[in-house]
Amino acid sequence: MREHTLGKNGPIVSRLGLGCMGMSDLYGPADRVESLATLHAALDTGITLLDTGDFYGMGHNEMLIAEALATRSNGKVALSVKFGAQRGPDGGWLGFDTRPNAVKTAAAYSLKRLGVEAIDIYRPARLDPNVPIEETIGAIADLVKAGYVKHIGLSEVGSETIRRAAAVHPIADLQIECSLLSRGIEDGILDTCRELGIGITAYGVLSRGLISGHWDRSRATIGTDFRSHSPRFQGNNLDRNLTLVDALRRVAETRGASVAQIAIAWVLAQGNDIVPLIGARRRDRLAEALGALDLVLSASDVAAIEAAAPKGAAAGQRYAEHQMATLDSERAA
């Protein structure tokens, strides 16, 4: 597994990271035994970046990771934790709270659940419209000084917010959705990050499974599954998006690869400063994703992939309208 420094000042991480959300929340029921086995398999293959959030399963995801690390950690794992999203007992979304005292309280609980002395990368999940980003980053900077956090990250924010945050404290990386179907990062945000030496951790590289090559209309979703209300998985949008998958499958076949591997390899090809987060929650899906590391795309390969799924071709927004309104990254674009 290749490794490199995340951004100019971040931790050394593996070329692929593992996004752990689906093992606890938002994609329907998950198998705990298989989740732990997948975490172990990821660590055994050299993946060192694990991404979570304190609101994934209301702490369940952090405790699951802690259980996996108890028997597999080699001291090299980098834990990336998001905070700030508020949820009720029913799992409903209540908004965001990134006031300084809330930042420090959330960190205290995450440290306890994860069973670690310091969080490697700590980041607000979204921009809190009621709290200046300078105050939030300043609070995390206090945690850095105290030794409870090693690096500071951002999530789904635009260029102006990135610059304001970086003026307070060095930022290791920006976490943002980036895939063949979600390329908003190209409209200034990526340039800003590269100018400031900020790395990218890209989530949603398979568009929530839509361009995994395994999704079709027969797949059922339940109300707690994000995809049951995601615009890209609804009605005619889904039909149009699956035609893009068919086109990608034809390109993948010319390389002897799967659709998922082609989609991940495309993200990898966008630059060494971009680390894809693989949302696998089963060992077979993890093994498939790891195969993307063996795909070296030529310029003609990249052109063929982008012709199959051109920028802007996705039908439907990546979130429902009310969720899109919370994305500073989209407002900036």
Q: What is the three-state SS of 176-233?
A: EECECCECHHHCCHHHHHHHHCCEEEEECCCHHHCCCCCCCCCCCCCCCCHHHCCHHH
Collapsed DSSP state (helix, strand, coil) of residue 167: coil
pLDDT in tens, 219-268: 766 667 778 788 998 889 999 999 999 999 999 999 999 999 999 999 99
pLDDT at 102 over 70: yes
pLDDT-derived band at 73, boundaries 50, 70, 90: low
| Residues with active-site annotation | 56
How many other C-beta atoms are found inside a 10 Å radius of the C-beta of residue 222? Answer: 10
Q: Which residue intervals of the chain are DSSP H helices?
A: 32-44, 60-72, 100-114, 133-146, 159-166, 189-196, 235-254, 259-268, 283-290, 299-308, 321-324, 328-332
pLDDT at 193 over 80: yes
Q: What does the pLDDT average to over 137-166?
A: 98
Question: What percent of the chain is predicted at pLDDT more than 90?
Answer: 83
pLDDT at 109 over 90: yes
How many other C-beta atoms are found inside a 10 Å radius of the C-beta of residue 214? Answer: 15
